[in-house]
Structure 1
Amino acid sequence: MTTITEARVIVTAPGRNYVTLKITTSDGVVGWGDATLNGRELAVAAYLTEHVCPLLVGRDPARIEDTWQFLYKGAYWRRGPVTMTAIAAVDVALWDILGKVAGLPVYKLLGGAARDGVLVYCHATGEDVPALLDDVARHVDQGYLAVRAQAAVPGLAKTYGVPTPDGKLYEPASSALPEEHLWDTAPYLRSAPEMLGAVRERFGFGIHLLHDVHHRLTPIEAGRLGRDLEPHRLFWMEDPTPAEDQAAFRVIRQHTTTPLAVGEVFNSIWDCQQLITERLIDYIRTSVTHAGGITHLRRIFALADLYGVRTGSHGPGDLSPVSLAAALHVDLSVPNFGIQEFMGHREPASEVFRTGYTFENGYLHPGDEPGLGVEVDEEAAARFPYDPRQLPVNRRLDGSVHDW
């Protein structure tokens, strides 16, 4: 019988910090899984190395469901981002192995393609509205059909989603302590409709337009913003309120018909059960890496399908190409796919991760290589050591801590 002979964690930072799990079988087949949790990478690396990898040696790699249940139910302390990211890495690596053994891309193991390609949206940003419009134009020229638009809020030194003028990442800081950003809701609620209206005025309704609130509003504020955005016909308004309070979306629903998307910080089907079954959202944004892998993500998407909720998986650059590839295989196969986030990856990521997915005319395809279609160069990974970074903390103008 084929068994798992080794499970090993690789931490590397080719542009961003990534945690990768390598599983090797007695037949010499290697599977790759992404275990990256932005800002808490080493917590997952330790969970895998100390608690999970020793349990995998000797197990049958083809018993994917059994391994998932073993790691989830067997640990007693269930759920949470660290645990579910670790389980996801194992699960995705095992699907990769199964595809390689079968000689098939993973999406064919999931029932085959339900579409020809995966519609993706990009990120367009600007220090002001004119700069944003130029960035939208640049992405439209590249072939994108859907664009997430973010612009700096007048009067605030930093705004989520907008890189600094020097081109550095807007999220993590290489310092012992996190950066602290100031937030004021009032100017944001005034500027967001004007900003998105300017995008519509220049580009019309021929592109899909998305916007991320990043959990900054109260339910009634989110309802007001959604109502103000209705003339601009957004594809969705993302993460309008802190995601822990599922019932808050009832209030938002009462005040706007703007489609709602949420779920990138969710780790299990229980985090979004009420949102889906009460039809309080239109898109569920759980990601393959943070929600227990392909096995559990399919359960979430199957529940969503019963209630007319479509998928819109989180796909940031702080998840590795292994995660994106796994997401694309799921996206291609599920009946209720909506859209996939696609930020791409900063160089020199391509020196470490060899990818088989392709972009054309606004759509991604995972490719037809056996497994996920991504391989990792371990020698290259060793050239980019871990770079400790901190995610920002958000404060209101009065100094109190706010949701970031």
Structure 2
Amino acid sequence: MKIKDIRVIVTSPGQNFVTVKIITDEGIYGVGDATLNGRELAVATYLEKHVVPCLLGRDASRIEDIWQYLYRGGYWRRGPVTMAAISAIDMALWDIKAKACNMPLYQLLGGASREKIMIYTHAHGSTIEETVEAVVQKKEEGFQAIRVQCGVPGLDRIYGISKLNSGPRPDGGFLPDEDIWSTEKYLPFIPKVFERLRDVLGWDTHLLHDAHHRLSPIEAARLGKDLEPYRLFWLEDAVAAEDQENFRHVRNHTTTPLAVGEVFNSIWDARDLIREQLIDYIRTTSCHAGGVTGLRRIFDYAAMHNVKTGCHGPGDVSPITMGVNTHLGLWVPNYGIQEFADYCPQVMDVFPSTWTHNKGFMHPGDVPGHGVDIDEELAARFPYERAYLPVNRLEDGTLWHW
């Protein structure tokens, strides 16, 4: 079964997505997600100009060989652009193989380890009471796990919750939005949010929190210790992820579970964190860490060291990624949880999917492949729109982690 054609499809049904569609000479096709939020065209160009010409005519069933060809053969390894491109190709090839075998992807991986997978949703508010109301609403919708963010007094916005664009430029494009941050205001306040939530909710709801890489190691350690009485499911991205040694300092001072990895692109980014058990959950996702092939290796390695999965799943990865993650989650023995931010109806129209979610759980469906497709005609109605993730500054103007 040879690769006959590869299409790179960029569409923006309210959010930019990059999709790869691989078509074989037997008529079976598969799709993969190459979205890299704010840098979509860099990946699309890398695919069109460098990857696609090298794959035409190759045997679509040789997934491992193609993965190694794109990773080792490219010489310039890793990095978000390269790995997003490899991820999309890999997802599409696994989609083809599962369709050719007439089975859902999770069966091809080895079958289900559970009946469904737990997901977490997002809730936030400008004040503590608004946040409590938002969390209670999500709980009433059936979610058992909820990520909580709250506006910090003295700061204008709910941190980590921003629009993709700021004001328009004369050329019709946009500049990144800019947020203001103060660790001094944040640290004494956020434990009060969870104290109030536990008073209202009790202890039968999993609560998560994202620090967005904004703290120093000792600040993160202090926060983790202050949050211990409220038994968080995890504290996410407590410190900048580049220096894995940072997590050792945090780990030595708190028993609050730690999660990181949404900006990781390969097993090498997480190796020491996993091997030394400095984290509890690894948050890499299929469209950024090498597709099914890359993510499966990370998950297997994590299982050896008592680290669970917690895939990144915001609205800026396409439903294809969500479908692939759900198949992996149903299979993987050391499953933890899956982020689920949901999608607007027009996104789901462009990407018809068989995965379903109900009362805080998901299932990928049982059709052959990974169960997600793209409506190319509809996708063409939503042209690319330049957009960025926000930028963050301290109150004195210093550029900081977003």
- TM-score relative to the length of structure 2: 0.97
Paired residues for 1:82-93 under 5 Å: 82-93=81-92
Q: Does 1:5 align with 2:4?
A: yes
Q: Does 1:313 align with 2:306?
A: no
Aligned partners of 2:95 and 2:86: how far apart in 1?
14
Q: Secondary structure at the match of 2:6?
A: strand
- Equivalent residue for 1:380, pick from 369, 378, 381: 378
The letter of the residue matching 2:317 is L
Contact kept, 8 Å, 2:265 with 2:290, in 1: the verdict is yes
Alpha-carbon deviations, 1:9-63, whole Å to 9, x = none? 0000111110000100001111000000011010000000110011111011111
Q: Does 1:368 align with 2:361?
A: no
- 1:204 is matched with 202
Contact kept, 8 Å, 2:310 with 2:338, in 1: the verdict is yes
Q: Secondary structure at the match of 2:373?
A: strand
- 1:293 is matched with 291
- 2:323 is matched with 325
- 2:171 is matched with none
- 2:25 is matched with 26
Q: CA deviation at 1:116?
A: 0.6
Aligned partners of 2:52 and 2:124: how far apart in 1?
40
Alpha-carbon deviations, 1:217-266, whole Å to 9, x = none? 00000000000000000000000000001011110011100000000000
- Equivalent residue for 1:302, pick from 300, 303, 314: 300
Aligned partners of 2:104 and 2:165: how far apart in 1?
34
- 1:123 is matched with 122
Q: Secondary structure at the match of 2:64?
A: helix
Q: Which runs of 5+ in 1 are unaligned?
A: 163-168
Paired residues for 1:73-112 under 5 Å: 73-112=72-111
Q: CA deviation at 1:170?
A: 3.3
Paired residues for 1:37-186 under 5 Å: 37-162=36-161, 170-173=163-166, 175=168, 176-186=174-184
Aligned partners of 1:187 and 1:266: how far apart in 2?
29
- Equivalent residue for 1:264, pick from 256, 262, 265: 262
- 2:349 is matched with 351
Paired residues for 1:166-245 under 5 Å: 170-173=163-166, 175=168, 176-245=174-243
Contact kept, 8 Å, 2:165 with 2:175, in 1: the verdict is no
Label 1:196 to 1:172 Cα distance change in 2 as closer, same or farther (>3 A): farther
Aligned partners of 2:214 and 2:240: how far apart in 1?
7
Contact kept, 8 Å, 1:150 with 1:212, in 2: the verdict is yes
Contact kept, 8 Å, 2:164 with 2:177, in 1: the verdict is no
Aligned partners of 1:350 and 1:362: how far apart in 2?
19
Contact kept, 8 Å, 2:164 with 2:176, in 1: the verdict is no
Aligned partners of 1:131 and 1:161: how far apart in 2?
16
Aligned partners of 1:191 and 1:171: how far apart in 2?
26
Aligned partners of 1:373 and 1:113: how far apart in 2?
16
Aligned partners of 1:122 and 1:231: how far apart in 2?
22
The alignment covers a number of residue pairs equal to 397
Alpha-carbon deviations, 1:304-335, whole Å to 9, x = none? 11110000010010000000000001111111
Label 1:228 to 1:171 Cα distance change in 2 as closer, same or farther (>3 A): farther
Aligned partners of 1:160 and 1:275: how far apart in 2?
26
Aligned partners of 2:58 and 2:363: how far apart in 1?
32
Q: Secondary structure at the match of 1:386?
A: coil
Q: Which runs of 5+ in 2 are unaligned?
A: 169-173
The letter of the residue matching 1:125 is H
Q: Secondary structure at the match of 1:374?
A: coil
The letter of the residue matching 2:143 is Y
- 1:403 is matched with 401
Q: Secondary structure at the match of 2:106?
A: helix
Contact kept, 8 Å, 2:126 with 2:157, in 1: the verdict is no
Contact kept, 8 Å, 1:16 with 1:346, in 2: the verdict is no
Alpha-carbon deviations, 1:271-305, whole Å to 9, x = none? 01010111100000001000010101010111111
Segments of 4+ in structure 1 off by > 6 A? none
Cα RMSD, aligned residues only? 1.0
- TM-score relative to the length of structure 1: 0.97
Greater displacement, 93-102 / 341-350? 341-350
Q: CA deviation at 1:118?
A: 0.7
Label 1:258 to 1:300 Cα distance change in 2 as closer, same or farther (>3 A): same
Q: Secondary structure at the match of 1:10?
A: strand
Contact kept, 8 Å, 1:125 with 1:161, in 2: the verdict is no
Aligned partners of 1:124 and 1:293: how far apart in 2?
29
Label 1:104 to 1:172 Cα distance change in 2 as closer, same or farther (>3 A): farther
